[in-house]
Structure 1
Amino acid sequence: MGVLAAAAFAFIWSTGFVVGRFIHGAAEPNVFLALRFGIAAVLLFAVCAIRRPPMPDARTVGAHLGIGALVNGVYLCLVYIAIADGLPAGIMALFGGWQPVLTVLVVALLTRRAPRVTVVLGIAASLTGLVLVLGPGMRSGAITGLLLVLAVLAALLLGERLPGPSLQLFGALAWSVLGISVVGMALMLHLVRTTSPTTVAIVVLAAPPLAAVQTYLLFGDTLTLLQVAGVVVSLVGVGVARVAEARSALPGRVGPASEADGEDPAGRRLG
């Protein structure tokens, strides 16, 4: 079940880059994001009103709003603007591919636990695959509540206008709201709670090569044999790192983390 959830999340997450290109000609980027987050907010508030789950305290809400504003506000606004200005979705995904590396480093610093060597090797292999997949595009010269506020502000500052109704717009909104904002984020939270942030970061490394394959299938972007090999290398690297991280989390396993913390295999404190 965990593997299926991780695979589904990687696929859904990768489509976010593709949507940024798909909406070209149907909607301007930040107006689209404002519509997406607005609809998603109304939908999720309705679900909460019906199910009445326990709500977080004010401090936690503030932290969530801050993180969400950076990830889904500033980050996505800049991503969609870049794609609208001609940056290929696959190249944008390459920059996104470095996020997991930073996540692993931040987690290691906060927990004072170095990641396993196999995890590092898997990440390195995956990044090598990303370079193979997206490298030709780099050489071709082709690069030319708070979340909604950020998207609206960006749209107003850039002079973006409301789009006219179209099947292209409705399809992109339906997938972005239900697929990415609802199902995708739910899968991410599930993986974080059942595994670790490092594991989720490793899975995210599969998104850029998947995005490259999707742009090839949907928009006719070419994939050379070298790029196909890069897709394989990247996904294998993700698999290696994912398995290594899962094994390091097994109960009763002796590893560098437990020894460094002064614990025996049973989890008892030594000394």
Structure 2
Amino acid sequence: MQNTHPTLIRMIPLLFVFLWSTGFIGAKYALPFVEPFYLLFLRMVLTIFVFLALCLLFKAKWPPMRLAGHQMVSGALIHGVYLGGVFAAIKLGMPAGVAAIIVGIQPILTALISWQLFSDALRPMQWLGLGLGLVGVVVVVFSTQLQDEVSLTWPALIASIAALLGISIGTLYQKRFSGGVDLLTGSVWQYVSTAVLMAVLAWSFETREVTWDIQLILALGWLVFGLSVSAVLLLMYMIREGEASKVAAYFYLVPLVACVEAWLLFDEDLPPLAIAASVLTVLGVYLVLKKPASAK
């Protein structure tokens, strides 16, 4: 993407947010017909074949085994632990809104880990932006999805916290150890490790029964091409080219866009309070990404 027009490059984060947000919609369409871990396993296997075809088409360069190992670790964290944790938490009875709140802490956690381990210092205005974004996400999710009576179990909490740690640590690991790796071949190794992890979980805890409905087929197709191919390539590019804390800040926008999509597709409520909190979250992301006057 080195010769990409600057305007298109600036559009990449917005396109990523839109595509990533549709993962919740695709899962909602698919899960009535298949169990979560087996759905993820099928998604990963299909995605591997797509990426292998892309690697052949574009004659992508394969990384040495040392870098391939790093890709497998980051893939298992970003895709396996994150997606598996979220799906498992919801399956164990956690409301999607509560799971979104827990995973929504990711930008703050990523910034803290990056600050401690890699000395990626944030300006006070960026910390303020992260805080505002977190408040906005919590208010949006509570006002649109949280039920009056919520019963949380320890297994569900552990699964959601595992998802939070997976996406946070995986993003930093990818930034730290995967520089210079071709995005196509690197993604193949990421999905190989994720497929293995999902296979272990599916064959250990699920029946792997599938009701092949056109709704499932269309949802699975979107999860593969829209999410696992398009969105993840954009995410890997953003991680490679940007600061980890700034990339993580875009995740604040995902629940907001998902709420709007659910409102349009499933007629879920979008209260005025949620709209106001969305504005607060957008302001927070702006503060994180805004360059200081001296840099300008």
TM-score of Structure 1 vs Structure 2, range by shorter chain = 0.7 to 0.9
Alignment partner, residue 176 of structure 1: 223
Q: Is the 8 A contact 2:114 2:245 kept in 1?
A: yes
Taking only the aligned residue pairs, the percentage that are identical comes to 31
Matches within 5 A, 1:79-158: 79-136=86-143, 137-138=145-146, 140-142=148-150, 145-158=192-205
TM-superposed deviation, 1:49: 2.2
Point out where structure 2 has 5 or more consecutive residues left out of the alignment.
1-6, 153-191
Higher normalized helix content (fraction of residues): 2
The answer as to 2:30 corresponding to 1:30 is no
Q: Deviations over 1:214-244 (max 9, x none)?
A: 223222322222122112211221122122x
Aligned partner (choices 56, 78, 90) of residue 63 of structure 2: 56
Q: Is the 8 A contact 2:97 2:142 kept in 1?
A: no
Q: Is the 8 A contact 1:21 1:89 kept in 2?
A: no
Aligned partner (choices 3, 12, 32) of residue 10 of structure 2: 3
The TM-score, its normalising length taken from structure 1, stands at 0.84
Q: Is the 8 A contact 2:12 2:234 kept in 1?
A: yes
TM-superposed deviation, 1:46: 1.6
Q: Which amino acid aligns with 1:19?
A: G
Q: Which amino acid aligns with 1:209?
A: L
Point out where structure 1 has 5 or more consecutive residues left out of the alignment.
255-271
Alignment partner, residue 213 of structure 1: 260
Shift in alpha-carbon separation, 1:160–1:239, aligned structure 2, 3 A: farther
Distance (Å, rounded) in 1 between the aligned partners of 2:118 and 2:92 = 40
The TM-score, its normalising length taken from structure 2, stands at 0.77
Matches within 5 A, 1:64-79: 64-79=71-86
The SS at the match of 1:190 is helix
TM-superposed deviation, 1:54: 2.0
Distance (Å, rounded) in 1 between the aligned partners of 2:74 and 2:47 = 17
Alignment partner, residue 226 of structure 1: 273
Alignment partner, residue 16 of structure 1: 23
The SS at the match of 1:241 is helix
Which structure would you say has the larger Rg? 1
What is the aligned residue count? 249
Shift in alpha-carbon separation, 1:119–1:23, aligned structure 2, 3 A: same
Alignment partner, residue 185 of structure 1: 232
